[in-house]
Amino acid sequence: MAFITANDGAQIFYKDWGKGQPVLFSHGWPLNGDAWDAQMQFLGSNGYRVIAHDRRSHGRSDQTWDGNNMDQYADDLQALI
């Protein structure tokens, strides 16, 4: 399993499949990155690099008390990119 470290130390889970032009998937509440598996499999098998993450406090990412807001979610994505 792959993780990146966010600017506040939280571990953010992500999956990164394939090669080619990247497509980044970001789930809504209360899901996780697995919600995109069907789309990722389709695009990945058609020449794209597909990336999905579990937002903090979702799925396999750290369950944090702080930082569950859009500004921190954007910072987490910046760390992933």
pTM of this structure: 0.91
CA–CA dist 68, 81 (Å, integer): 19
The residues spanned by each domain of the chain are 2-80
Instruction: Say how far apart CA 76 and CA 12 lie, in whole Å.
Output: 8
pLDDT of residue 5: 98
DSSP H helical ranges for the chain: 37-44, 70-80
**What are the tens digits of pLDDT across the range 28-76?**
889 999 999 999 999 999 999 999 999 999 999 999 999 999 999 999 9
Q: How confident is the model at residue 1 (pLDDT cuts 50, 70, 90)?
A: confident
Q: What is the pLDDT of residue 51?
A: 98
Is the pLDDT at 27 greater than 90, yes or no?
yes
According to CATH, the superfamily of the domain at 2-80 is Alpha/Beta hydrolase fold, catalytic domain (3.40.50.1820)
